[in-house]
Amino acid sequence: MEYGVHLPLISFSGESRTLEDLRVYTSDARDLGYSYLCANDHLLFSRPWLDGPTALSAVLDVSGEMRLATTIALPVLRGPVATAKALGAIDLLSGGRMTVGVGPGSSEADYRVAGLDFSERWKRFDESIAVLRAMWRGQSFDGTFYPIGDASLLPRPAQKDGPPIWVASWGSEAGLRRTARLGDGWLASGYNTTPEIFPQALAYLGEQLASRGKDPGTFPNGIATLWMSVTEDRAEATRVIEDVVSKMLNRPADQIAGLLPVGSAEECAVLMSRYAAVGAERVFVWPVADDREQIERFMERVVPLVTDNS
């Protein structure tokens, strides 16, 4: 199993992120051996959220050989042409290290401020994926929402056909069918799946891929937004779930406890091992505090305990 880290874009306790913070964090993650560096996308949120693609581009020069990923980007809200332009540039400047995870977004507030009809999000999302590929490949596209014609974005990304597009789905059958139909990979949500649910969704996805002539064995997957706090202090682990994650997600704490790598190194390793055993190929963790210390703890205390049969 591969491991990635989310850039610490959220201010959990009012702290202000600086460029130097992000650069040092990225350098640490690189040196610790993480394979992926991820950035998430939101316009409005319950806490201050630094712009994801901007932050990702700002740390390119210290990211080493890490794969760069959006987990996820919101092409409907940003506009698919502008999204293609920005993420294609990151791919080019990084030498072809970009993976583009996409989703429609679930925030009605984001759609309101973007001047878009929330009820159209799925139709727009499907079409936006086609736009991304057309823009990166220099192909013509005329859609219902995006009548682009033969417009071409130059320069093109470093990867020949553009960055691979991984479709985010919480695991519904409709979402997994969409992933099989439109995606180059699948992104599951760390707080919307479990080691019991994940393999069921993966099996269904495999059936859908096979029905479309795609090889399930070569279709990548990852679990993103795994809020993380490695601590041997049980009271501290409880506080993180109840006072940070539960309030941030607006979900009862008892619905979240056990879903995330929050707790002792052994408990976190057990969760990661269970995911590895059921086919999760990569996980992306996001520390909720003490960012640099936490990514070090996870790599040095948790990962060596993970039983990985992949």
- Is 162 a domain residue? yes
- Is 13 a domain residue? yes
- Is 107 a domain residue? yes
- Is 248 a domain residue? no
The domain that holds 23 is classified in CATH as 3.20.20.30
Model pTM score = 0.95
- Is 215 a domain residue? yes
β-strand pairing of 147-149 with 165-168: unpaired
- Is 174 a domain residue? yes
Q: Give the distance from CA 159 to its chain's centroid.
A: 20
Domain carrying residue 71: 2-234+263-305
Q: Which residues contact 225 (CB under 8 A, 6 or more apart)?
A: 6, 40, 71, 189, 190, 191, 284, 286
User: Cα(4)–Cα(75) distance, rounded to whole angstroms?
Assistant: 23
Segment 160-199, tens digit of pLDDT: 999 999 999 988 999 999 999 999 999 999 999 999 999 9
Number of domains making up the chain: 1
Amino acid identity, residue 110?
D
How many H helices and E strands in the chain? 13, 11
- Is 254 a domain residue? no
Task: Give the mean pLDDT of the chain.
Answer: 95
Q: Which helix (H) or strand (E) holds 46?
A: none
Segment 83-100, tens digit of pLDDT: 999 999 999 999 999 999
- Is 253 a domain residue? no
